Amino acid sequence: MFPLTINGIGPVGAFGAGLADFKDALTGSRKITPEITRVTTQNGDCDLPVFRADTKPLAEFIKPRKLRRLDNFSRMALLGSALAVADSAVPLNGSRAGLIVASAHGASATTFAFLDSVIDDGDALASPTLFSNSVHNAAAAHIAEHFQITGPTLSLTQGRNSLAPALLTAALWLQKGLVDTVLCGVVDCYCEVLGYCWQSYQPKCRMKSPELIFGPGEGSFFLRLSRTEKTFEPAKYGYLKRLEFDRTTLPETPFICSGNCGRYPLSADEMNPGKRLPFDTTSLCGHLPVAAGFDLAAAIALLHNQESSNGREKSAAAVLPSPTICCWEPRIEYRRKPLTGNCYWVTNHADLNLRKQA
């Protein structure tokens, strides 16, 4: 089933759109300015930094008339997938392609906008347009229509552990030969309710601590994947080497684990500096449940180009004893459980004996 070839990637977030923007942000050469939003909770008022994504680059891919129909959630998903396809520099044959869109909360902003229409105008005048765009698989439908993807499509929701089952499904489709390529990605959007919830769960206003400027975010990250033995050429971004569910020990290779914002302090083992790479993509895209996607993006970017200008990333590159990085996606629920999580390993070396597999 594995390895899978990573042919193209499309990250979208507060850092910008595309690998170049993401790398610039990762190395500290691109300044990220969160939007400050006033939130009132039971704990009082707070100016919350919100890491909003800018989807203006979507205009390069979509006609304005079609663009108007899309909500922010679908725009981020469509932009991420369009960037991944463009990045691969190979046109997508929709009849031999599959699509997977994973999200923790779906188009929550549109769901609440639909509720606004119910509350403001009454049940009988609820908005059909808002309802249809609030359905979980609306984004996948827009992407499929845009690329004419007629293979299998899957929308899934598994909270902060949404990426691993998405990658597994992509691998199974490719192994079965249903498709030659899979667009696989994660997306989550920000809305006022999520900001309220995010801040309400905080013990105190984080902005009071100048060193801890983080807040909720939004974004998408898509990969274009194919079967390694079908490619016969070095992958543009390496290989997704392995996937493991419910692992109860820490990865044996250097690993990335972010997206926690310090809300759930990691144990000493999890913080092990010898293995855990010393950076957190939360500072690039804010806190969002599908942050694991940006960890994978960071792993790919690090392996693709280990030159870094930022001190933190230099140290990250320095502790890379092997060409393989693991993304450790812990299952952190509402009470502390024994260490459990999903892992996926990405490598930039073709030490995979491709010829033998072919």
Partner 1 sequence: MRVRISGIGALCACGLDLESAVSALFQERRPPAAARRFQLHHPQDYPVFELPPSGLDKPDKNQPWLRTSRLAVAAAAAALEDSGWSKEENNLHQLSKLKVGVCIGTTVGGSMNDEKFYRDFREAKTPGLQPIDRYLRSNPADVLADVFKLSGPRLTVVNACSSGSDAIAIGTEWIRSGVCDLVLAGGSDELCRVTCNGFISLMVGDRKPCRPFDESRNGLNLGEGAAVLILESKNLYSQRTITDETEKNRNPSLFIAGSGSACDAWHLTAPHPEGRGLKQALKQALDDAEISPEEIAFINAHGTATKNNDLTEGKVLKDMFPQTPFFSTKGHTGHTLGAAGALEAAFTAALLKMKKIPPSAGFKYADPAINHTPTTTRQTIDGNFALSQSLAFGGNNSALIIELGGE
> Please, is 115 exposed, middle or buried when counting C-beta atoms within 10 Å of its C-beta (0-12, 13-18, 19+)?
middle
- When binding is defined by CB under 8 A, the residue of 5, 88, 169, 253 that contacts partner 1 is 169
Cross-strand pairs, 328: 343
Query: Which residue is it, tokens 């909500």?
Result: 71
Interface stretch with partner 1, choices 6-14, 138-146, 211-219, 307-315 (CB under 8 A): 138-146
Minimum gap (Å) between residue 126 Cβ and partner 1: 4
The CB-side HSE value for 70 (13 A sphere, CA atoms) comes to: 26
Phi/psi at 33 (nearest 5 deg)?
-115, 105
150 vs 305, which CB is nearer to partner 1? Answer: 150
CB 251 within 8 A of CB 339: no
Interface stretch with partner 1, choices 51-59, 162-170, 304-312, 315-323 (CB under 8 A): 162-170
Minimum gap (Å) between residue 285 Cβ and partner 1: 20
Interface stretch with partner 1, choices 8-16, 124-132, 266-274, 296-304 (CB under 8 A): 124-132
Using CA atoms, how far apart are residues 82 and 76, in angstroms rounded to an integer?
Answer: 10
Using CA atoms, how far apart are residues 128 and 144, in angstroms rounded to an integer?
Answer: 21
Site for partner 1 contains 127 (CB under 8 A): yes
Where do the DSSP E strands lie in 132-258?
A: 153-156, 181-188, 219-227, 239-247, 255-256
Cross-strand pairs, 220: 12, 187
Residue numbers 12-51 binding partner 1 by CB under 8 A: 40-42
- When binding is defined by CB under 8 A, the residue of 27, 37, 157, 202 that contacts partner 1 is 157
Site for partner 1 contains 135 (CB under 8 A): yes
Using CA atoms, how far apart are residues 151 and 95, in angstroms rounded to an integer?
Answer: 6
Interface stretch with partner 1, choices 51-59, 158-166, 274-282, 294-302 (CB under 8 A): 158-166
Site for partner 1 contains 348 (CB under 8 A): no
Residues touching partner 1: how many (CB under 8 A)? Answer: 67
Phi/psi at 90 (nearest 5 deg)?
-125, 125
Site for partner 1 contains 131 (CB under 8 A): yes
x/- letters, 193..232, toward partner 1 (CB under 8 A) = x--xx--xx-------------------------------
Query: Which residue is it, tokens 């595309």?
Result: 18
Site for partner 1 contains 271 (CB under 8 A): no
CA dihedral sign of residues 37, 40, 41, 46: positive
> Please, is 60 exposed, middle or buried when counting C-beta atoms within 10 Å of its C-beta (0-12, 13-18, 19+)?
exposed
Using CA atoms, how far apart are residues 344 and 164, in angstroms rounded to an integer?
Answer: 7
Minimum gap (Å) between residue 232 Cβ and partner 1: 23
Task: Name the site residues for partner 1 (rule: CB under 8 A).
Answer: 1, 40-42, 94, 99, 105-106, 108, 111-112, 114-116, 118-119, 122-124, 126-128, 131-138, 140-142, 144-145, 147-159, 161, 164-165, 168-169, 172, 175-176, 178, 192-193, 196-197, 200-201, 245-246, 333-334
